[in-house]
Amino acid sequence: MEKMISKVDYTSLTEKETKESIIEVCKNAIEYNVASVCVYSKWVKLVSELLKDSQVKTCTVISFPDGSDETTDKMLETMQAIKDGADEIDMVFDYNYLKNGGDEYELYKDVQSVKRVCSIYSKELKVIIESGLLNDEETVIATRLSIKGGADYVKTSTGKVSVGAEIEKVKIIYDTIRYLGVEDSVKIKASGGIRTKEDMELFNPYVDRFGMGYGSIDSIIKGEKTSSYY
């Protein structure tokens, strides 16, 4: 369980955050030794400052939640977030454009442009493809274009739509990564609807990160404290 917790992006994207709630989230993140704290860009400076003496990274979302912003805007948003202290960027793929028959080259260039900004500052890029709203073929295409564009992680979901992470879609992403021969450089982040220890155990063999709301992790930790977590 401790190993799975260390793979968590401890997330607060409720739009109801306050300075006090962010401070509490960061305090718990350090105690739990999660991978990162994921917040809206307006909180990146504060989170980065609170986490500066820890191993926990600062993560933020770009073009959230629908990925429809212009590429230039995504690049500028990414640059500002990194300047504010973000270590990791979770960019939303323009999945509606894909579903509506959009140009695959434009989607690839969109990812590549944001990756270029991340690379300048040696930051990791996760691309959120919103797999719960894609069919199997679209999931393969979105994964392929994300990888071609330079994604370090392919991430399932924003957590803001009706269908989040699905194990069958994660297996499709997993198989696509291996088919393309990039399993040593591209990882998977499962997010959206993952709330329990059992959910984590289901996805764990296939993923390198979990995107989970801080409340879910708090509940899991409290349950583990009564058994064998510490």
Record: fold of 2-225: TIM Barrel (3.20.20)
Select which of 57, 123, 169, 189 is catalytic: 189
d(CA 38, CA 65): 14
Select which of 57, 115, 123, 155 is catalytic: 155
Spell out, as residue ranges, where the chain has pLDDT lower than 50. Answer: 226-230
Closest CA to 164 of 22, 13, 37: 13
Select which of 84, 90, 110, 152 is catalytic: 90
- Say what the pTM is: 0.96
d(CA 160, CA 115): 23
pLDDT of the residue at 225: 58
Residue-wise pLDDT for 18-67, tens only, equals 999 999 999 999 999 999 999 999 999 999 999 999 999 999 999 999 99
pLDDT of the residue at 224: 73
- Quick one: CA dihedral 27, 32, 34, 38, positive or negative? negative
- In angstroms, the Cα distances linking 145 to 42, 117, 129 are 29, 17, 10
**Is 84 marked active-site?**
no
The residues, ordered by sequence, that sit 6+ positions from 230 with a Cβ below 8 Å of its Cβ are 224
Q: Where do the H-state alpha helices sit in the chain?
A: 2-5, 19-32, 44-51, 71-84, 95-99, 104-120, 136-149, 167-179, 197-203, 214-225
Domain coordinates in residue numbering, the chain: 2-225
Torsion from C-alpha of 221, 222, 227, 230, nearest 10 degrees: 50
d(CA 171, CA 110): 25
**Is 90 marked active-site?**
yes
Tokens of 12: 């607060």
User: Residue 100 CB: number of other CB atoms within 10 A?
Assistant: 8
**Is 218 marked active-site?**
no
CB 208 within 8 Å of CB 183: no
